[in-house]
Amino acid sequence: MSIITEQLTFHSEKLNLLPTHHYGGRPACTTTDAMHMLTYQIKDAWRKRRVTSVLFLDIEGAFPNAVNERLIHNMKKRRVPTALVKFTKNLLQDRFTMLKFDDFTSERIPIDNSIGQGDPLSMVLYQYYNADILDIPAGSNESAMAYVDNAILIATGENFIETHQTLMNMMTRPNGALDWSKDHNSRFKFSKLALMDFAHRNNKKERRPMTLFNTVISPVKSAKYLGVFFNQHLDWGTQCNYALEKGTKWASQIRQAAAPSWGITPKHAQQLYRSVAIPRTLYMQPMILTDFHNSWVNRWGESLLCHGPADVGRRRRFFRYSWASRCRPGAEAIFRSHFLRTFPDDFNPSGGSDIINPVRMEHVNSCRLDLVGHLCNLVRTEQVNSCRPDLVGHLCYPE
């Protein structure tokens, strides 16, 4: 199965069979790339004195509800090699399952639909299954992105009334999102659709609810997408608070595990802290830390990259100091468990150790370089090529 997955992925990337903004399960198409592309589109509209509305779609039972015939049709339409199409067709035929409860085992139940989850091929197959949803945008003010089964529709306009109308048009027009939902047996749960209106904090344009098939969708101030909290001003305040809460949780757990009498050794406590606590807490730090500087201010007193107030760098310092204070229990666990019997109150290892406080300027610069690498690898669209020199130059020379 892994060999077939490698072959299908190779042909998909070499022949550009999948849409450009389809992320996840593809080489060099990570959550970081999806986040940066979404953020760039929003801030690019802000630079043009426009606003952006994003509709986060919720698909019920994405993998189990997939129709095999539609998947084969999509693969043929996107010119997947015939041998791979035949293999996929034979793979999805004559399948069955059985239910077992205690001593009871049911008869064989045939499986007509669904893409099996868990195997390496499932991710690539579902990319072809829902790739048509990214072909819905038809104008320069419309866009769409997807990370496996997490799809979003993006509309840009002069005001939110215009963007809401664009989103409703993308949903209801022929061959739109609703038609895709019916054809692919992938229903949208309207009660869980999230609408967010992105505008600069100095922009006072009114945010009104959007009505879609007798369902009123009110704009939300923050929404979680791919594990990161986006808010309507893109200041990452909600995400920073969420990261600090996770840091406190992990620090307290490490403190309990590193008890002096029976706990783990300082070496293993430090390894646990570095390999588990820091990566999980500082998830998407290249996304957040690269926005925390105040260089290249335009005549309106706004940063050209983050499009926020000129003193937005103070939030970075606040996050660093808050992170240091929240991680003090973990620092105490590592240093006190075996090295120190007493821990003075004025000793603060979290502020002076790179082990405890990883949010330093060298890490911020490293995040910028990682972002530069991601932008240089995204060469499939003219949009990225046009924005790359400004972003790369700004990230490489922030001061």
Distance CA 353, CA 21 (A): 40
Tokens 């306009």 belong to residue: 157
Phi, psi at residue 355, to the nearest 5°?
A: -70, -40
Over 60: is that where the pLDDT of 315 sits? no
- The token duo for 397 is 């020379």
* pLDDT score at 386: 43
Query: 354 or 219, which is more confident?
Result: 219
* pLDDT score at 170: 94
* pLDDT score at 122: 87
Mean pLDDT for all residues in the chain: 76
The answer to which of 67-71, 184-188, 338-342 has the lowest mean pLDDT is: 338-342
Query: 348 or 87, which is more confident?
Result: 87
Distance CA 170, CA 153 (A): 8
* pLDDT score at 75: 94
Over 90: is that where the pLDDT of 168 sits? yes
Mean pLDDT, residues 138-160? 91
The answer to which of 74-78, 102-106, 232-236, 361-365 has the lowest mean pLDDT is: 361-365
Residue environment code for 83-103, b if the CB has 16+ CB neighbours within 10 A, otherwise e: ebbeebeebbeeeeeeeeeee
Whole-angstrom Cα Rg for the chain: 24
3-state secondary structure 116-179: CCCCHHHHHHHHHHCHHHHHCCCCCCEEEEEECCEEEEEEEECCHHHHHHHHHHHHHCCCCHHH
Closest residue by Cα to residue 38 from 227, 287, 206, 237? 287
pLDDT grade for 286, boundaries at 50, 70 and 90: low
Max mean pLDDT range (52-61, 334-343, 347-356): 52-61
Q: What is the pTM of this model?
A: 0.77
Query: 227 or 164, which is more confident?
Result: 164
